[in-house]
Amino acid sequence: MQCRFCKTELSQVFIDLVNSPASNSFLTKEQLNEPEIFYPLKTFTCPNCFLVQVDEYKKSDAIFNSDYVYFSSYSTSWLKHAKAYTEKMIHRFGYNQQSKVVEIASNDGYLLQYFLEKQVPVLGIEPTANTAEVAKGKGIETVVDFFGVRLAKELTAKGIRANLLLGNNVLAHVPDIVDFVGGMKILLAPDGVITMEFPHLMQLVDNNQFDTIYHEHFSYLSFYTVQQIFAAAGLEMFDVEEIPTHGGSLRIYAHHKEDTTRAVTANVQALLDKEKNKGMQGLTYYDNFQQKALKVKMDLMDFLVTQKRAGKKVAAYGAAAKGNTLLNYCGIKDDLIDYVVDANPHKQGKFLPASHIPVLDLEHLKKHQPDFVLILPWNIKDEITQQLAFIKEWNGQFVVPIPSLQII
């Protein structure tokens, strides 16, 4: 395997989570009796550019298809984040009716709807047809396609250029990151701004967030590495923010290297220095992550077995991709966790891949009254504990597995 950016041969294993189905390949009841395809889930660290990456074991067009079950609008905290971002961009850069905002991986229109409310023209680019249809129903023009150099050239040939080109949690999802960033260079207007948000590799390592590794995430990114990838495409970082979403993410700001209208802020060098001081530009930093994950596995298994022996009922909340990584790495099945509740109706009535734990609606939780609710999307645990505060009525408790087992 070669690095998907610098083509260096890879041999340094970051973590091996063994084999797992694609994290969002939910099953119908009929499929439970059929064979499942498991793919290796082994990540490597590039010794040259320090891009942490998994091979493209399952092709991206097979993952992001018309049956895609992730809809962004089912998280109230994520909608709040999207609205705040919209207001910040309009305030900072002055976008108006003459501007063009283009979002890559626009999903169900969760973010562009807020620009539309401000009468700023928008265009969504989304490869999953079912989520794109929801966006179109909100009046958001959407191109159903994968983004890269080819599509960027097609759009610019039609006179489309982006004053603001954004993508939230998509940079890590593309197998050909060089082609993806090259497409952004083409589509960006001469004085345009790119913003991208993605989970920060530093947070993943420091806070033991191994469950954010799954087949949809091809790359795990530091600011140092992303700066190199963008620079190779002729794009310059002029600002960066550390934000709390997804357990700790970065929001990067970039423009054409030849665009001199904005000064590079002190945040850029400050974050590069912070990563360097952590040791992120040396392989030692990436050692021993396997052992950290193993401890979470053993602690969670001990907890579940103890509750099972005591006759306690354990349910989970949030049929999230990260939850499937955790459950499958730990080897947890429906004999230890009775079911998982999720607010997304597109997941309800289906079963988690590999573990075969059924996905049910919220009413089942109220009727069943479990002793413990394991929060799988720990990154929005505050939102979930508020929504499910009623479990305290029967003395139910929350369990958070990452970065270490915690009972709330």
119 with 87, same domain?
A: yes
131 with 234, same domain?
A: yes
The pair of structure tokens assigned to 200 is 């920060």
Distances in whole angstroms, Cα of residue 350 to Cα of each of 13, 69, 131, 347, 376: 34, 11, 18, 6, 17
Domain count, the chain: 2
Is the residue at 90 inside a domain?
yes
pLDDT over 80 at 130, yes or no: yes
Is the residue at 345 inside a domain?
yes
Rounded CA-CA distance 314/286 in Å is: 34
CB atoms within 10 A of CB 34: 8
Which residue, 286, 306, 328, sits at the end of a domain?
286
Each residue's pLDDT tens digit, 248-267: 999 999 999 999 999 999 99
Each residue's pLDDT tens digit, 31-62: 999 999 999 999 999 999 999 999 876 555 55
375 with 397, same domain?
A: yes
103 with 185, same domain?
A: yes
What was the pLDDT predicted at 59? 56
Q: Which CATH number does the domain housing residue 343 bear?
A: 3.40.50.720
Which residue, 223, 253, 286, sits at the end of a domain?
286
Q: In 3D, which of 386, 309, 316 has the Cα closest to residue 351?
A: 316
pLDDT over 70 at 349, yes or no: yes
Each residue's pLDDT tens digit, 286-296: 999 999 999 99
Residue for token pair 């991206």: 60
170 with 210, same domain?
A: yes
Distances in whole angstroms, Cα of residue 37 to Cα of each of 64, 127, 128, 175, 194: 16, 23, 21, 20, 37
Is the residue at 275 inside a domain?
yes
Is the residue at 271 inside a domain?
yes
Each residue's pLDDT tens digit, 11-32: 999 999 988 898 888 999 999 9
Domain that holds residue 128: 72-286
Average pLDDT (377-394) is: 94
212 with 96, same domain?
A: yes
249 with 336, same domain?
A: no
234 with 321, same domain?
A: no
137 with 271, same domain?
A: yes
Determine which of 53-57, 110-114, 340-344, 390-394 has the lowest per-residue pLDDT on average.
53-57
Phi, psi (rounded to 5 degrees) for 263: -80, 150
Rounded CA-CA distance 122/207 in Å is: 36
Q: What angle do CA 283, 48, 256 make, to 5 degrees?
A: 125
Mean pLDDT across the chain: 94
177 with 246, same domain?
A: yes
321 with 361, same domain?
A: yes
Which residue, 286, 305, 322, sits at the end of a domain?
286
169 with 302, same domain?
A: no
Global pTM reads 0.89
Rounded CA-CA distance 252/122 in Å is: 20
Is the residue at 98 inside a domain?
yes
Number of alpha carbons in the 13 Å side-chain half-sphere of residue 371: 12
DSSP state of 265: P
Q: Which CATH number does the domain housing residue 128 bear?
A: 3.40.50.150
Q: Which residue type is seen at 51?
A: L
Average pLDDT (297-312) is: 98
Rounded CA-CA distance 212/377 in Å is: 10
Is the residue at 53 inside a domain?
no
Angle between helices 223-232 and 266-278 (to 10 degrees): 120
List, in order, residues 6 or more apart from 348 with CB less than 8 Å away: 342, 359, 360, 361
Is the residue at 359 inside a domain?
yes
Is the residue at 114 inside a domain?
yes
Map residue 204 onto helix, strand or coil.
helix
